[in-house]
Amino acid sequence: MAWLVVRLAISVSLFYTASAVFEDQVGKFDWRQQFIGKVRFALFDTHSQASKKLLVATDKNVFASLNSRTGDLFWRHVDKTGPEGHIDALLMYGQDAVVVAGNGRLLRSWETTVGGLKWETVLDTGSFQAAALVGVQDFVKYVAVLKKSAISLHDLSSGSQIWVENLPDSDTVQYQTIYSGGNGLVFVFGVVPNSHIVIVEYKIEDGEIMNKKSVEAAWMSSLESSCTVISSGILLCVDQITQSLYTLLLQSAEQTEMRQIHLQTLDLEVASGFQPVLTSTQPNPAQPPLSEFFLQLSPDHHILLQLKDGLIVPLRDFNPSYLAAFATSGERTVAAVMSPKNDTACSINLFSADTGRRHLDTTIIYHMDPNGGKPNRLYVHAFLKKDDSVGYRVMVQTEDLTLTFLQQPGRVVWMREEALADVVTMEMIDLPFTGTQAELEGEFGKKADGLLPMVLKRLSSQFILLQAWLAHLWKLFYDARKPRSSVKNEVNIDTLSRDEFNLQKMMVMVTASGKLFGIDSKSGTILWKQYLENIEPNSVFKLIVQRTTAHFPHPPQCTLLIKNKDTGLGNLYVFNPIFGKKSQISVPALPRPVLQTLLLPVIDQDYAKVLLLIDDQYKVTTFPSTKNILQQLQDTASSIFFYLVDSSQGKLSGFRLRKDLSTELIWEVVIPTEVQKIVAVKGKRANEHVHSQGRVMGDRSVLYKYLNPNLLAVITESTDTHHERSFVGIFLIDGVTGRIVHEAVQRKAKGPVHFVHSENWVVYVYWNSKFRRNEFSVLELFEGAELYNSTVFSSLDRPHPPQVLQQSYIFPAPISTLEATLTEKGITSRHLLVGLPSGNILSLPKMFLDPRRPEVVSEQSREENLIPYAPEMPIRDEWFINYNQTVSRVRGIHTAPSGLESTCLVVAYGLDIYQTRVFPSKQFDVLKDDYDYVLISSVLFGLFFATMISKRLAEVKLLNRAWR
Amino acid sequence: MRQMKRLLDVYVALQALFALSWCFTDADPGPAVGSQSNGERFKIEGRAIVPGVKTQDWVSTARILVEGEEYVGFVKTDGSFAVNDVPSGSYVVEIVSPSFRFDPVRVDITSKGKMRARLVNYIKTSEVLRQPYPLQIRSSGPHTYFMKRETWGWTDFLMNPMVMMMVLPLLIIVLLPKVVNTNDPEMRKEMEQSMNMLNPNPELPDVSEFMTKLFSKGSSKAGGGNKGSRSVALKRR
- Which residues does chain A have within 8 Å of residue B8's beta carbon, measured at their own beta carbons? 1, 4
Q: How far is A424 from chain B (nearest CA, A)?
A: 20
Identify the bridge partners of residue A12 per DSSP, sorted by sequence position: none
Phi, psi of A16 (to 5 degrees): -75, -40
* CA–CA separation, B19 and B25 (whole Å): 10
Cis peptide before A577 (omega within 30 of 0): no
Long-range contacts of A208-211 (CB under 8 A, 24+ apart): A209/A165, A209/A168, A210/A185
Across the interface, whether the CB atoms of B235 and A78 are under 8 A apart is answered no
Tell which residue, A207, A197, A200, has the closest CA to residue A154. A207
Cα–Cα distance for residue pair A843/A877, rounded to 1 Å: 10
In which band, very low, low, confident or very high, does the pLDDT at A597 lie, cut at 50, 70 and 90? confident
Which residues of B, range 172-191, sit inside 8 Å of A by Cβ?
Answer: none
Q: Each residue of A948-963: pLDDT tens digit?
A: 999 999 999 999 999 9
A658-686 burial by CB neighbour count: b if 16+ within 10 A, else e?
Answer: eeebebeeebebebebeebbbbbbbebee
Q: Is residue B8 part of a domain?
A: no
Instruction: Return the pLDDT at B27.
Output: 34
Residue B146 has its nearest CB partner, among A21, A105, A816, at A21
Separation in Å, CA of A843 to nearest CA in chain B: 12
CA distances from A954 to A275, A760, A943, A961, B178 (A): 103, 63, 16, 10, 18
How long a stretch of residues is chain A? 964
Q: What is the mean pLDDT of residues B114-122?
A: 89
Residues of A within 8 A of B96 (CB-CB) are 837-839, 886
Run of H or E including A631: helix A627-636
Residue of B nearest to A723 (CA): B34
Quote the pLDDT of residue A16. Answer: 46
Residues near B179 by beta carbon (within 8 Å), at least 6 away in sequence: none
Residue burial A766-794, b: 16+ Cβ < 10 Å; e: rest? bbbbbbbbbbbbbbbbbbeeebeeeeeee
Residues B100 and B185 in one domain: no
Phi then psi dihedrals of residue A935, to 5 deg: -65, -50
* Partner B, chain A 647-706, Cβ-Cβ below 8 Å: none
Strand partners, A329: A332
DSSP string, A426-465: EEEEEPPPPHHHHHHHHHHHSPP--HHHHHHHHHHHHHHH
Tens of pLDDT, residues A146-201 = 988 889 999 888 888 888 888 888 888 888 888 888 788 888 888 888 888 888 88
d(CA A675, CA A652): 16
Average pLDDT, integer, range A231-245: 85
> Which sequence spans correspond to the domains of chain A?
164-307, 422-434+501-587, 593-670, 934-963
Rounded-to-integer distance, Cα B129 and Cα A351, Å: 68
DSSP-based three-state secondary structure for A923: coil
Would an 8 Å CB–CB cutoff place A2 in contact with chain B? no
Is a pLDDT exceeding 80 seen at residue A305? yes
Residues B137 and B83 in one domain: yes
Q: Considering only CB atoms, which chain B residues are within 8 Å of A834?
A: none
The nearest alpha carbon in chain A to B237 belongs to: A15
Phi then psi dihedrals of residue A634, to 5 deg: -60, -40
CB nearest to A837's CB, from B59, B68, B98: B68
Residue B174 pLDDT > 70, yes or no? yes
Any B CB within 8 A of A773 CB:
yes
Nearest residue in chain A measured CA to CA from B89: A772
Q: A574 and A562 in contact (C-beta within 8 Å)?
A: no
Q: Residue A1 — pLDDT band, cuts 50, 70, 90?
A: very low
pLDDT tens per residue, range B126-157: 888 888 888 898 888 888 888 887 776 677 77
Q: How far apart, in whole angstroms, are the C-alpha atoms of residue A907 and residue A180? A: 50
B212: distance to nearest CA of chain A, Å? 29
Res. B21: pLDDT tops 70 = no
Residue of A nearest to B81 (CA): A117
Coil, strand or helix: which one is A507? strand
Whether residue B47 is found in the same domain as residue B130: yes
pLDDT of residue A960: 93
Give percent of chain A with pLDDT exceeding 70: 95
Question: For chain B, what is the largest distance between any 2 Cα atoms, rounded to a whole number of angstroms?
Answer: 107
Q: Which residues in chain B touch residue A117, judged by CB atoms under 8 angstroms apart? A: 59, 74-77, 81
Write out the H or E segment, with its range, that includes residue A39.
Answer: strand A39-44
Q: Are residues B104 and B127 in the same domain?
A: yes
Phi, psi for A149 (deg, rounded to 5): -130, 5
Residue from A772, A773, A811, A869 to probe the interface with B (highest B Cβ count within 10 Å): A772
A residues 55-94 closer than 8 Å to B (CB)? 74-75, 77-81, 84-85
The per-residue pLDDT for range A731-754, each reduced to its tens digit, is 999 988 888 999 999 898 887 899
**Amino acid letter, A738:** G
**What distance lies between CA A755 and its chain's CA centroid?**
21
Give pLDDT, residue A863: 85
Residue % of chain A over a pLDDT of 90: 25
Closest by Cα among A740, A614, A731, A748 to A679: A731
Position A63 confidence tier, pLDDT thresholds 50, 70, 90? very high
Whether B184 is in a domain gets the answer yes
Three-state secondary structure of B141-205: CECCCEECCCCCCHHHHHHCHHHHHHHHHHHHHHHHHHHCCCCCHHHHHHHHHHHHHHCCCCCCC
Q: How many domains does chain B have?
A: 2
Q: Which pLDDT band, with edges at 50, 70 and 90, does B199 fall under?
A: low
Instruction: Answer yes or no: is pLDDT of A767 > 70.
Output: yes
The yes-or-no verdict on residue A33 having pLDDT over 90 is yes
Return the beta strands (E) in chain B as ranges: 41-49, 63-66, 71-74, 80-87, 89-96, 105-109, 115-119, 130-131, 135-138, 146-147
Q: Best mutation site among A6, A78, A80, A727 for testing chain B: the one with the most B CBs within 10 Å?
A: A80
pLDDT band with cut points at 50, 70 and 90 for residue A371: confident
Residues 6+ apart with CB under 8 A from A121: A106, A107, A108, A154, A159, A160, A161
Q: What is the CATH number of the domain that holds B66?
A: 2.60.40.10
Q: Are A326 and A282 in contact (CB under 8 A)?
A: no
Residues B97 and B183 in one domain: no
B80 touches chain A (CB under 8 A): no
User: Chain A residues with CB inside 8 Å of B125's CB?
Assistant: 771-773
Cα separation, A910 vs A832, in Å, equals 18
- C-alpha distances (whole Å) from B109 to each of A122, B29, B33, B74 are 19, 12, 9, 20
A77, pLDDT greater than 70: yes
Contact between A75 and B152 using a beta-carbon 8 Å cutoff: no
Between these two residues, A347 and A51, which has the higher pLDDT value? A347
B131 touches chain A (CB under 8 A): no
Phi, psi of B205 (to 5 degrees): -65, 165
Q: Which residues of A touch B59 (CB under 8 A)?
A: 114-117
Residue ranges of alpha helices (H) inside A744-849 are none
Q: CA distances (Å), A37 to each of A419, A646, B170, B183, in order?
A: 7, 33, 70, 91
**Mean pLDDT of chain A, nearest integer:** 86
> Is residue B94 less than 8 Å (CB to CB) from chain A?
yes
Spatial separation of the C-alpha atoms in residues A887 and A906, rounded to whole Å = 13
- Binned at pLDDT 50, 70 and 90, residue A34 comes out as very high
Q: Report the predicted TM-score, pTM, of the whole model to 2 decimal places.
A: 0.84
Q: Answer yes or no: do B68 and B131 share one domain.
A: yes
Inter-chain CB proximity A80 and B69 less than 8 Å? yes
B230 to chain A: closest CA residue: A12
User: Which of B77, B81, B98 has the CB atom closest to A886's CB atom?
Assistant: B98
Tell me, what DSSP letter sits at residue A283?
A: S
B183 assigned to some structural domain: yes
Long-range CB contacts for residues A348-354, cutoff 8 Å, separation at least 24: A348/A378, A348/A394, A348/A406, A350/A382, A350/A390, A350/A392, A351/A304, A351/A316, A353/A281, A353/A290, A353/A292, A353/A304, A353/A326, A354/A290, A354/A292, A354/A306
Amino acid at the residue A499:
D
CB contact under 8 A, A16 and B68: no
Does residue B120 belong to the interface with chain A, where contact is any CB pair within 8 Å?
Answer: yes
The C-alpha atoms of residue A697 and residue A862 are separated, in whole angstroms, by: 10
- Euclidean distance between the first and final Cα of chain A, in Å? 70
> Which candidate in B14, B122, B232 is best for mutational testing of the A interface (most A CBs within 10 A)?
B122
More confidently predicted of A254 and A43: A43
- Cα dihedral value A954, A958, A961, A963, nearest 10: -130
CA distance A505 to A496: 9
Same structural domain, B136 and B52? yes
Q: Which residues have a Cβ under 8 Å from the Cβ of A148 and sit 6 or more positions away?
A: A126, A127, A129, A170, A174, A175
What is the average pLDDT across A129-146? 85
In the predicted model, what is the mean pLDDT of residues A258-272? Answer: 83
Question: Is B7 part of any domain?
Answer: no
Strands B135-138 and B41-49: parallel
Final residue in a domain of this structure, among B142, B163, B190 = B142
Q: How near does any CA of chain B get to the CA of A81, in Å?
A: 9
Yes or no: say if A66 and A74 are a contact pair by the CB < 8 Å rule.
yes
User: What's the start-to-end Cα distance of chain B, in Å?
Assistant: 24
Q: Which of B55, B72, B120 is facing A85, going by the closest CB pair? A: B72
Q: What is the DSSP string of A337-351?
A: EEEE-SSSEEEEEEE
The answer to whether residues B124 and B165 belong to one domain is no
In a domain, B62, yes or no: yes
pLDDT at A692 over 70: yes
Helix (H) and strand (E) counts in chain A: 6, 63
Q: Which of B146, B236, B237 to mutate to test the interface with A (most CBs of A within 10 A)?
A: B146
Q: Give the list of residues 6+ apart from residue A590 with CB closer than 8 angstroms, or none.
A: A569, A570, A571, A572, A613, A615, A621
Cα of A402 vs its chain's centroid, Å:
14
Helix extents (H) in A793-887: 859-863
DSSP-derived letter for residue A615 is E
* Residue A790 pLDDT exceeds 80: no
Q: What is the pLDDT of residue A41?
A: 92
More confident residue, B223 or A895: A895
B132 and B97 belong to one structural domain: yes
**Which residue type occupies B164?**
M
Nearest one of A272, A267, A368 to A314, comparing CA atoms: A267
Question: What is the DSSP annotation of A189-225?
Answer: EEEETTTEEEEEEEETTT--EEEEEEEE-TT-S--TT
Q: Is A958 left (phi over 0), alpha (psi -120 to 50) or beta?
A: alpha
| Region A855-876 average pLDDT | 88
Per DSSP, the three-state class of A863 is: helix
Higher pLDDT, A317 or A448: A317
Quickly list DSSP for A357-378: PBPTT--EEEEPPTTS--EEEE
* The pLDDT value given to residue A357: 87
Q: Is B96 within 8 Å of A111 when comparing Cβ atoms?
A: no
Host domain of residue B102: 42-142
Rounded to 10 deg, the angle between the B207-236 and B161-179 helix axes is 160
